[in-house]
A = this chain, B = another copy of it.
Amino acid sequence: MKKGSNSVKIDGIDKKILRHLMKDARTPILEIARSIGISGAAIHQRLRKLESSGLLSGSKFVINPRVLGYSTLAYIGIYLDRAMSNPQAVKALEKVPEVLECHYTTGNWSILIKVLCRDNEHLMQLLNKKIQAIEGVSRTETFISLDQQIDRQISL
């Protein structure tokens, strides 16, 4: 199977393995092996295959930003003057550490971004001094996440 192919087939055992690792990337393979009744070597083989299929794009430690004093999460819809501004705007947004995601979107805005700030004050500074300062940005609409109830990956 070529890397990045979009016709990967996974069976029930693959799903079980992945479900374990999606919850905790450091789950020992041997522990998974014991829990699903297969040898560690077999799981190792399957993981190698899943990896080369491009389905596994890596693993991440998840840190809780709240503990570092970052508790304001928001989405910002951005209107750009000209479509031409897009690539430059994205380049500028990449340099803003508070920006976690950036999407070109259909609909009202040119761009939708997700930002993480310490508090509302920080968010206001971010909007006024950094986002609005980007060339091409004409207007923004901000949606603060008061509470996030769901946060998960694709279900297998």
| Identical copies of this chain, number | 2
Task: Pick the residue among B5, B8, B145, B152 that contacts A103 (CB under 8 A).
Answer: B145
**Contacts A22-B61, A106-B143 given; 18 further ones with Cβ under 8 A?**
A4-B67, A6-B67, A22-B63, A23-B60, A25-B26, A55-B64, A55-B67, A56-B62, A59-B59, A59-B62, A73-B103, A75-B105, A100-B151, A101-B150, A102-B150, A104-B146, A105-B143, A108-B143
- Chain B residue with Cβ nearest A3: B67
Q: Are B6 and A150 in contact (CB under 8 A)?
A: no
A-B contact pairs, 25 of them (CB 8 A): A5-B67, A6-B68, A10-B68, A18-B61, A22-B61, A23-B58, A55-B68, A56-B62, A56-B63, A57-B64, A59-B59, A59-B61, A60-B60, A75-B112, A90-B149, A99-B150, A100-B150, A101-B151, A103-B146, A103-B147, A103-B148, A103-B149, A106-B144, A112-B143, A116-B154
